[in-house]
Amino acid sequence: MANTRNNTAIAETLKALEITSENAGTSTGAKTMNAGAVIHSVSPVDGEVIASVTQTTSEEYEQVMQTAAEAFKVWRTMPAPQRGEIVRQFNEELRSLKEPLGKLVSYEMGKSYQEGLGEVQEMIDICDFAVGLSRQLHGLTMHSERPGHRMYEQYHPLGIVGIISAFNFPVAVWSWNTALAWVCGDVCIWKPSEKTPLTGIACQKIAARIFSKNNLPEGISCLINGDYKVGELMTQDERVPLISATGSTRMGKQVAQTVGGRLGKSLLELGGNNAIIVTPDSDLKMTVIGAVFGAVGTAGQRCTSTRRLIIHESIYDKVTNAVVDAYKQLRIGNPLDENNHVGPVIDKEAVKNYQNALEKVVAEGGKILVEGGVLEGEGYESGCYVKPAIAEAENHFEIVQHETFAPVLYIMKYSGDVANAIELQNGVRQGLSSAIMTNNLREAERFLSVAGSDCGIANVNIGTSGAEIGGAFGGEKETGGGRESGSDAWKVYMRRQTNTINYTTQLPLAQGIKFDL
């Protein structure tokens, strides 16, 4: 394992996370038969195979399901604050392993080490949130129209929650779902991206140690590995009442159709085509920082990455020149080197999508402002390092209407009132994140009003990426409509029940109906 140019650091990282060649393919919740196809975890940093895991077979999946179902019978009866205590212990383990887990995230996925550490910090933060939430899973009381009756509503756990996560946030998004689902009394089965299976195994091992330490069933947290076919086992399974899926809009539509066909629930976090509006009253320095980080952070592979920059015509040249100049300062290279700003994209397929996007924008009449290209030579042997590019474009271009999961920023101008910019911002199928840069209170409030941004996230004087766990995360339109993380997102992991108690010796009917015997 980890026979790479970075092998010393990575070997120590895997050791700290207790991942070895003998246990890398083991999934809690099933006795591994090792009959499944082999999945190689290839680092985009240097193109080396870190380790190999086996794909979960249908027989192993059935074992996982049975183990999870049995664990749910135990877990659901534990008082929520006690479930919160288990999450607190899991959180303590994350704190102690933040550096090695963050390094593995960086190496396996390709994001910068600082972003890898930030992702683990998101896990820590959502666990903190969940621990407090474990004492606040409250319903409502209400007055009955019938004398001597009491009405209230309460929430119960759903059961087994299936989680399908994407490669770009290989651990954080899982934790958003899992930490909340656990305190709500659910058990979880997780299918991480087949492009980043080791981070999933690392998290599973941490969780398994905590449950074992507390003499709790291992099936509270389960892991399955594989491609979309393994995910389909969950989406088609009536024993899984909720599927939380993060990925492309195309994938989300398939999940929604399958889960909806069995009247299950789906929580979808899909594509984003996020824009920053820059008005004449904007702060140039803040705009450049927000736009550049939003466009090149995680090599443009965040669902909240900035794809479009909509600039007022009166300041178009000034802002564009400043952003172009900032791109000249970007350092591209090994993400484990904290001096670098941008690491590789995930794989060669992502490189092709990046190249196709640049070709298409030119074919549609766009103009390249910052040249792209694939980097070659020492340090770039994986073939996954690309130059962040900027193209002048129009919002109606077909390529601009689609999400390009790569560091490509489309710049365009608007004229007149900010309402024109908002119309451009809303003029795409996706509705995840949006931002406006302005010091004009009226423009800011217009952007946030009912006639403003149609996205699930709307920011003023910050970029489109970098959501905090305290607020509900998600978007509208083809982004799927789901909400994860903070606020009252916990309710999706529970079933609502209305209760009426009659504490009299009579049985009056609702609406004054008479039914005498």
Catalytic residues: 269
CA 164 – CA 485 distance, rounded (Å): 15
Tokens of 383: 């073939």
How many C-beta atoms surround the C-beta of residue 256 within 10 A?
Answer: 19
Using CA atoms of 56, 59, 61, 65 in order, give the dihedral in degrees to the nearest 10. Answer: -160
Closest-CA residue to 60 (of 246, 187, 244, 226) = 226
Burial class for 9, CB neighbours closer than 10 Å (0-12, 13-18, 19+): middle
Report the SS3 class of residue 104: helix
CA 114 – CA 336 distance, rounded (Å): 8
How many C-beta atoms surround the C-beta of residue 58 within 10 A?
Answer: 10
What is the bridge-based pairing of β-strands 484-485 and 472-473?
Answer: antiparallel
Tokens of 114: 């600082």
Please name the residue that has the structure tokens 């091992």: 205
Closest-CA residue to 87 (of 172, 154, 184, 17) = 184
The answer to whether the CB of 170 falls within 8 A of the CB of 193 is: yes
Helices (H), 51-112: 58-75, 80-96, 98-109
Which residue type occupies 166?
Answer: A
CA 513-516-517 angle, to 5 degrees, is: 150
Tokens of 334: 């090994």
CA 431 – CA 479 distance, rounded (Å): 6
CA 72 – CA 90 distance, rounded (Å): 18
For residue 413, the cross-strand partners are 311
Helices (H), 188-227: 197-213
Q: What secondary structure letter does DSSP report for 504?
A: S
What is the bridge-based pairing of β-strands 149-157 and 160-164?
Answer: unpaired
Report the SS3 class of residue 139: coil
The answer to whether the CB of 24 falls within 8 A of the CB of 201 is: yes
Closest-CA residue to 192 (of 241, 240, 244) = 244
Report the SS3 class of residue 323: helix
Closest-CA residue to 126 (of 464, 475, 471) = 471
